[in-house]
Amino acid sequence: MVYLAHSENKAGHPQPLAEHLRVTAELAARFAEPFGAAAEARVAGLLHDVGKYGERFQARLRGEVHGVDHWTAGALAALDRKQLQFVATALAVQGHHIGLQQAEKQALGVLFEQQCSPGLQPSTSGPRSELLSRFTADGLQLPPLASTCYSGLAGKAAAMLDVRMLFSALVDADFLDTERHFSGQEREPGLPLEPERALELLRAHLERKAAECTAAPTVRQLRADLLHACLDAGTLPPGLFTLTAPTGAGKTLSMLAFALRHAAEHGLRRVVVVIPFLTIIEQTVAVYREALAELGEATLHRYLLEDHSLAGIRAGDDREDDDCDTRRLLAENWDAPLVVTTNVQLLESLFANRSRPCRKLHNLARSVILFDEVQTLPLRLAVPTLATLSRLAERYGATIVFSTATQPAFSHLDEAVRKLCVSGWQPQEIVPAALHLFNRARRVKVHWPERDAAAVTWSEVAQKLARASQALCVVNMKRHAWALLDELAPRNGDRLFHLSTSMCPAHRQAVVREVKRRLTACEPCLLVSTQCVEAGVDVDFPVVFRAWGPLDGLAQVAGRCNRNGKQALGSLRVFHPEEEGRPYPTGAYQQAAEVAKALFNDRGAEGMDLDDPELHLAYYRMLYATAGVAERSADKDDLLGHLVTQHFAKVAEKYCIIPHAAVNVLVPYLPEAFKELAEQVRNRGLTRDWVTRARPFTVGVYRPRDDDPVRGHLEPVCVARTQAAAEDWFLYLEPDHYHPLKGLVPIADSSTLIA
């Protein structure tokens, strides 16, 4: 009898099970070879579908039965081999359909007792040994396995990453061979990095840009010195690094230069650039595409991969459907030399338990991973994140770079990190202290409020803003921004702009483009923004106002002032705004703002030098102590508690960069686009392709209560396959509620909050 893995493809051919197991095993071994786990990955590949040798599964392929568990048998076979030694193999095999479960011995004992997943039936009615007999009779053999990648001695977070990396190699191999069977063709492998050539193109581009640069000579020299420091540091051994340099110093391209030099020196495979906000991702990608343009468009679109919710939706992106399919396939496993992604995509994948987000992880081994604006990492996630990244460097040969002008004092958390990963967190700074970059980068005079200064009304702020031809004001809350816009609009409407997450991404991108154009053309421009403008948005205003907030926010907004040094000194005015209700968006944000205020009260204005890295270290140490980050103990129901018990599903649920209480709402920013997308989803249901195209026109809204009037304007979207209403996707049906300046402004008696 020929046992089958998959049903007939388009050519009418089913796939023999022996072929699928053999190919998956070889691919998995190849994917795990860079981190020394090829033998274990090969065994996982051979065992992952061994349950398909059962008569019930073969009947399921013929449509005769349903609800068959074909994955547990292989997991138990892995555990049978050496008792509980090959936990990683067993978990990977068990999880390739249902997700990684739990690594505790008690949970594995339950697996032995149940013999299959709850609510399903085993793939065979006979003993499990019959499955392995059929496996052997099919010409397959399990190779000897002397060691495992799983080690509880490395720390709980480290051990969980070890399992995920093996799991990643297995599920990517499984997906690729299954795709090959049903499509009838093998996927073309990704391009090589070729770091020497890429670095040559980058350096030539930087030389051209330097010749064209209109920034002040001091700024140009600062950028040149940072570039040379990054190139020099590229020869250092792989590991953990920080890149601390002033805003406007050219970190975006300099850190890429470091990565390419480093990859060339040490034979690393790819560069992954991780960015916190969608508002700056388009800008970063445009900079990299311009720098590497000589690769040619056909090569570049396979060389530089964007994996985020707006990928492929940029203005003017009119490439062929085949190209879009190629980018989609590459994004599934990051098989590309240069990847630009978000904190959400990368970090949540590192803590995920399902096959799709984990699929890409094996490609992080022996890669350079650049985290831009790293101060945005949520404090509540800092210790487990640092532990996992430390393991990625120590065990998997990756180099991790934390880049920012306001470097958090993460080294202060080293002891807490070591409890989850024994290698801890002690990065090396790329920029030599002797360069004194921050002392040379003083381009802004900060006007601090008096310690006992009264709160300023929005009318007073508006009057001061309106006196400037070009000015930026950053506030803490959307309602503050709207109040200030209301004060400014009557007399400044033609030069008034706004940025916040109440606007959909396409709207925000259009505003950023117009603001940059006006600044370059010296045209009048007033921009009122929430803190989303602070990290990495490349704008240069002569005058900036900032409502009191966390110290890193104050320093980051200073980087949007006199960025290119065209004035002797720009002006940053910090103020305490009038308050009605909650003053800050979250408790953690308020805590950080209060720590900054305590530091100010202790030091006075003369001790608050935003260009002094030591000030930021003192601030972060005080913040960590206040928040109890290092002393936080594990609770059975929190993230740390689930890390201790190695419960993969619970860890994935608890580790989220952005709280998942928000729902996605398609808004009528562009009426024609809204109409087209609404008709498509009503007719066809919610699909992955529709979500990708809808993202640019979506606003995140915290789920409204049942009695909230805004619910009357939300139309639920149905899932394509089931026609059941999706829990987190809606259409916003009232076009008048999407304001051309403010974005989505729900009706006055609604309690709905924009995420």
Indicate whether 398 belongs to any domain: yes
Q: Does one domain contain both 420 and 498?
A: no
Q: Are residues 74 and 54 in the same domain?
A: yes
**What is the DSSP track for 222-264?**
HHHHHHHHHHHHTTSPSSEEEEE--TTS-HHHHHHHHHHHHHH
What is the number of structural domains in the chain?
A: 4
Q: Which of 386, 411, 434 is the last residue of a domain?
A: 434
Taking alpha carbons only, the member of 703, 701, 702 closest to residue 667 is 701
Residues linked to residue 647 through DSSP beta bridges, in sequence order? 102
Q: What are 651-677's pLDDT values in tens digits?
A: 999 999 886 667 889 999 999 999 999
Query: Are 449 and 504 part of one and the same domain?
Result: yes
Phi, then psi, of 382 in degrees rounded to 5: -60, -55
Percent of the chain residues past pLDDT 70, beyond the cut: 93
- State whether 425 and 448 are in the same domain: no
Which one, of 115, 143, 138, lies nearest residue 128 by Cα? 115
Query: Where residue 331 sits, what CATH number does that domain have?
Result: 3.40.50.300
Task: Report yes or no on 452 lying in a domain.
Answer: yes
Q: Please tell me whether residues 151 and 100 are part of one structural domain.
A: yes
552, 299 Cβ separation under 8 angstroms: no
Supply φ then ψ for residue 393, to 5 degrees.
Answer: -75, -50
Burial of 127 (0-12, 13-18, 19+ CB in 10 A): exposed
So what's the pLDDT on residue 128? 85
Task: List pLDDT tens digits, range 135-178.
Answer: 999 999 999 877 777 777 789 999 999 999 999 999 999 999 99
Span 345-356, pLDDT tens digits:
999 999 999 999
Average pLDDT, the chain: 90
Which strand (E) or helix (H) includes residue 572?
strand 570-575
Q: Determine, yes or no, domain membership for 162.
A: yes
Residue 416 C-alpha from the chain's centroid: 23
Q: In this structure, what are the phi and psi dihedrals at residue 426, rounded to the nearest 5 degrees? A: -135, 80
Q: What is the pLDDT of residue 493?
A: 82
In a domain, 206, yes or no: no
Same domain, 532 and 412: no
What amino acid is encoded at 344 in this protein? V
Do the Cβ atoms of 264 and 235 come closer than 8 Å? no
Which of 415, 434, 453 corresponds to the end of one domain? 434
For residues 277 and 558, give the distance between their C-alpha atoms in angstroms, rounded to a whole number. Answer: 18
Q: Which of 589, 609, 629 is the last residue of a domain?
A: 609
pTM: 0.90
CA atoms within 13 A on the CB side of 331: 20
Q: Please check whether residues 268 and 341 belong to one and the same domain.
A: yes
State which amino acid sits at residue 70: H
Residues 552 and 589 in one domain: yes
Q: Which has more confidence, 24 or 578?
A: 24
pLDDT above 50 for 594: yes
Owning domain of residue 711: 662-744
* Percent above pLDDT 90 for the chain: 71
Average pLDDT, stretch 19-23?
A: 98
381 shares a domain with 483: no
Which helix (DSSP H) or strand (DSSP E) does residue 429 occupy? strand 428-429
Alpha helices (runs of H) in 53-125, residue ranges in sequence order: 55-61, 72-81, 87-98, 105-114
Is 541 inside any structural domain? yes
Quick: pLDDT tens for 215-247: 889 999 999 999 999 999 999 999 999 999 998
Instruction: Write the pLDDT tens digit of every residue in 295-327.
Output: 999 999 899 998 876 554 333 333 333 444 555
Structure tokens at 477: 């809350």
State pLDDT tens for residues 727-736: 889 999 999 9
Based on the fold, state whether residues 485 and 412 are members of the same structural domain: no
CA-CA distance, 740 to 721, in Å (whole number)? Answer: 35
The answer to whether residue 69 is domain-embedded is: yes
Judgement on whether residues 271 and 400 belong to the same structural domain of the protein: yes
| pLDDT tens digit sequence for 91-138 | 999 999 999 999 887 777 777 777 788 888 988 888 889 999 999 999
pLDDT of residue 310: 54
In whole angstroms, give the CA distance from residue 671 to residue 480: 27
387 and 321 inside one domain = yes
Residue 721 lies in a domain: yes
Identify whether 624 is part of a domain: no
